[in-house]
Each structure stands twice: as C-alpha cells, then as structure tokens.
Amino acid sequence: MRGVWPAALTMFDAEGRLDEDATAAHLDLLVTEGVHGLVVGGTSGEFVALTDAERRRLLEVAVEAVAGRVAILAGTGTYATSATIELTRHAEEAGAAAALVVLPYFQRPSREEVLGHYRRVAAATDLPLWVYNIPANAATDPLTTADLAGLYHEGVVSGVKSTLPTVHQIHELRAATDEGFRAFYGGFTAPLEAMAGGAHGWISGLLNVAPATAVELWEAVGAGDLPRARAVWARLLPLRRLVTDPAVRGVSDLALYRGLLRIWGRPAGFCRPPLRDLDPTELSMLEKTLQAAPWWSGFDRPSASNV
C-alpha cells in the first residue's frame, strides 16, 4: 500500500440520497487515471453525514466498482468503539485492504482512552488498522510518533494518515518504525516535501480532481528526479490555491471539487446538507476564473475516452 490514494467523494443525488451509479463511475474514473488505491468513506466522502447502513453500502458499491484493480482503505471510525468495531468487521467482510479509524470526536477522551479505543478495535478484527491522525477535526490531541510507533510494535496498527499542519511526523515515523508500517501524508499543502521525506503515499480530497498529475508527482519523486517533481508540483499548486484562496466564498472544498468535476463533464454528484453545492452563478464564476488563469489551458484533464 503506497502511492496516490484519493480520498474519494461520495456522490449524492439532488435529493441527498446516496447515488450508487455516480459514485461507481467516479471511482472507476479515478482508477482509470492511474491512482494506486482509494480511500472510501473518509472526510471527503462525507462519512459524518452517512448512516451506518449507508457507510456499509458505500463500501460495497466501491468494492464492486473497483473489482480488485486497486486496494481500498475503508473509513470505519466513529466516536463509539463498539460502532467502530462493527463497521470495521463489515469492511473486512466486504473486501477492504485496511480500515482507517479516525480519532474520536466531539467528546474529549484522554490519551489512554484513545489508545485503548484502537487496541479494542484491533482485538476485535483481523483487518489492518490505520490511524486517521487529524486533530483539527477531532476532540483529542494527535497521537504522537511515540504513540503510533508503540501501537505498531504492539501489533495494533499498521499505518497512519497524518493530517497534521507540518510533515515532520512522516520523517519521525520512518525513523521509529520499519517497512511494515505505512506513513501516508494526509494534507494538500506539502505533498512534495512529505514524499521527499519518505511518505509511503499521499491521501487527499484534492486528488479527486488531479489524480493523473499527482501520480506523475509520485513517480518523479520515486525516481529521485526532484527538478521534475518540483515542476509537476508547480502545475498542481494553482489548483491547490483554488481551495485555499477560492474565487467562490462560503462553500466547502468538496463543493469546489464537485464544481470542477461538473465543469469537466465528469460525475460530480451533490453535497449532503448542511454542506451545499455551488449555485449556477457560482459555478459560472468558477469556470470564468479558470478560463482566465494562465495555467489552466495546460492543466491535465481526463481524456475524452475517460469522461
């Protein structure tokens, strides 16, 4: 498990229902674009807006659509340990390669309680567990390098999606573990630095709209060609800025990704409230912003055969 892994969008229809066909089409396109794996039911998949039954069905749809072409990392974390166990057991039965278990949220468990949460989930399933270390969206401090390395050496976890403000944990984890542990970078601000520092892969919602270019970045770093890698990242950087400094305000990054997909004629679906999609005026504004950007004409978009 290494490489470029989009945190795949979940597609809903205009009434907010799970759109299985659009979801399958989007996942198929990502695989066709050359990604190495998929995260299903993560933050960009709006897992917090899904019922447990929908989370199970989403994973089943994904496994069927992917048909073994790439591995799937299934988001199975909830606040409650018992519910996380049940979703993780289902992911194992459904055919996921591993489970991504987010830090507990809303309530504020102690560090020992968080470590116990992962130990109990691991004891209840044979599916490899990854920690989704995202303190900005959790109610607990991030697990430290020592915490993660300790859980790994206990046989509790086998990977992490590190969504911290910096990439330093990637470097530290590579020094504190061995190749049995997977340290993935989980942001979109510094993937080049993370890859150069030894990240086993990159997980991000941004990869829904730039999969092939991200794969090119991964391959350049893997080949040790840093000048080429910097040139590829320079092509991705304006797209990242569309999210960090958007032309359309008051919407989520997921709405912007969907807007880009819609402009390209790709399966886009809709957000589930309280998140909202771009209205027609905002979508037009986004498209005009792109057309006016000097980098846009040369940006890699999927070929007509892949749309």
Distance CA 162, CA 15 (A): 34
Active site residue 79: no
Q: Are 261 and 267 in contact (CB under 8 A)?
A: yes
Active site residue 152: no
Nearest CA to 296 out of 255, 248, 264, 253 is that of 264
Query: What is the DSSP code (8-state) at residue 9?
Result: P
Q: In this structure, what are the phi and psi dihedrals at residue 109, rounded to the nearest 5 degrees?
A: -65, 155
List the structure tokens of 81: 């340990």
**Rounded (10°) CA dihedral 69, 306, 209, 159:** 0
Active-site annotation holder among 118, 152, 161, 257 = 161
| Helices 111-123 and 81-94, packing angle to 10 deg | 40
Q: Are 208 and 38 in contact (CB under 8 A)?
A: no
Characterise 101 by phi-psi region: left (phi > 0), alpha (psi -120 to 50), beta (else).
beta
Active-site annotation holder among 132, 152, 185, 257 = 132
List the structure tokens of 247: 């032309």
Q: List the catalytic residues.
A: 132, 161
